[in-house]
Structure 1
Amino acid sequence: MSGVSIRPVTPELWDDLAGLFGPTGAYGYCWCAYFRRRAKDYTASVDAPRPERGLGNREVLERVTAEGRVPGLLAYDDGQPCGWVSLGPRSDFVRLAHSRTLRPVDPEERGVWSLVCFWMPPRRRGKGLATLLLDAAIEHARDNGARVLEAYPVDTAGGRAPTADVYTGTVALMRRAGFTCTRHPSSGRPIARLRLTG
């Protein structure tokens, strides 16, 4: 994986991101909009008839990108897109704002960014790409003024889990990168936090 480069997704890279996700928008018409939309709007888009399935989700991600708000980072190998991580200020993610299980740990805390998704084609998995994407995400968040980077990983207890279940990353991945992993105080869900500034 030494030849991998990772870039913030800007409007000129939209076609590369869309090509990586393919016609089904990655996780079954998701287009990495799950955390960017209210539950009812996301579900309506995914449950639409097949020709329109996921169209609303795609439009959300494309609009964010076109507006110049970096929705995440894209990994390239030999000039071809090969992986994705989504992150940004916590306020960018509508579902987090309305979540009963992932309320802010400290509502007064400023500068919290959220890392919400990894995606890569099956042939790219299990080769360390998620670690490279996570390292780049930490650097990107720090460089853009984040004070804390927060993630919502899955605890596989050292075992394996279906890929579709661990799109937010795993507790083990976060711990290796220096995150402190605890249980959310109100819901008991795993939450990983990395302080980026003093």
Structure 2
Amino acid sequence: MDSLDFAWLTADHWSAFERLFGARGACEGCWCMYHRLLAAEYKPNRGENNRAAMMALVERGAQPGILGFHEGQAVGWVSVSPREAFPRLDKSRVAKPFDDQAVWSVTCLFVAKEMRRKGVSVALLRAAIGFVKARGGRILEGYPIIPKKDSVPPVFAFPGLISAFHAAGFRTCAQRSETRALVRYDLV
């Protein structure tokens, strides 16, 4: 998808983010807070509390991810931050640290329904590579799904599909389950 423009989520782009995520916060009120909170914190905060928590991050100057724009409308999102921003990853068998390297993590990809299957996820991952490299990151990591079937329902595809990560140049470093992998892109 060559016709996308990208921008970090900042207060200037908050309304575009809200429109992309819609009233449901992308999926069941997540607002891309799932990996930023431990399980005990996440469940009671779904919905408005998660939206407010993401907004507070943005208002504090954090840049929790990148929006992809097509013809001025946000059509895609990739959550990308230093791994420390995602405490739930340390509790995950699939995403536990691979080694002691400092990494940035991609935890979520969300694409507007009408733009799915058009290469938006690959474009978002490539944008994340560039944005993280520009900020001095050395390794970008993801935890994609390895589909058992030809397609995965969108609600379950939020970590991204391994095919998109491979198309963006990531390599598989570990496969700790039949359906999930740990992939990396070396930025140096």
CA contact (8 A) 1:179 1:194 kept: yes
Deviation, structure 1 residue 60: 1.7
Structure 2 SS opposite 1:29? coil
Structure 2 SS opposite 1:109? coil
CA contact (8 A) 2:144 2:160 kept: yes
Q: Which residue of 1 aligns with 2:67?
A: 74
Q: Does 1:159 align with 2:179?
A: no
- Greater Rg, structure 1 or structure 2? 1
Q: Which sits farther off after the overlay, 149-158 or 82-91?
A: 149-158
Q: Does 1:41 align with 2:33?
A: no
| Counterpart mapping for 1:1-198 below 5 A | 1-46=1-46, 54-106=47-99, 108-110=100-102, 112-157=103-148, 159-184=150-175, 189-197=180-188
CA RMSD in angstroms comes to 1.7
Deviation, structure 1 residue 97: 3.0
Query: For residues 136-183 of structure 1, what are the alpha-carbon distances to aligned partners after superposition, in whole Å with 9 as ceiling and x for unaligned?
Result: 011111111111100000001572111111111111111112211143
Deviation, structure 1 residue 184: 4.5
Q: 4+ residue runs of structure 1 moved beyond 4 angstroms?
A: none
Task: Output the CA distance in 2 between the equivalents of 1:74 and 1:117.
Answer: 12
Q: TM-score, normalised by structure 2?
A: 0.92
- Sequence identity percentage: 34
- Structure 2 residue runs without a partner (length 5+): none
Task: Output the CA distance in 1 between the equivalents of 2:166 and 2:25.
Answer: 29
User: In the comparison of the two structures, how many residue pairs are matched?
Assistant: 187
- Structure 1 residue runs without a partner (length 5+): 47-53
Task: Output the CA distance in 2 between the equivalents of 1:77 and 1:176.
Answer: 21
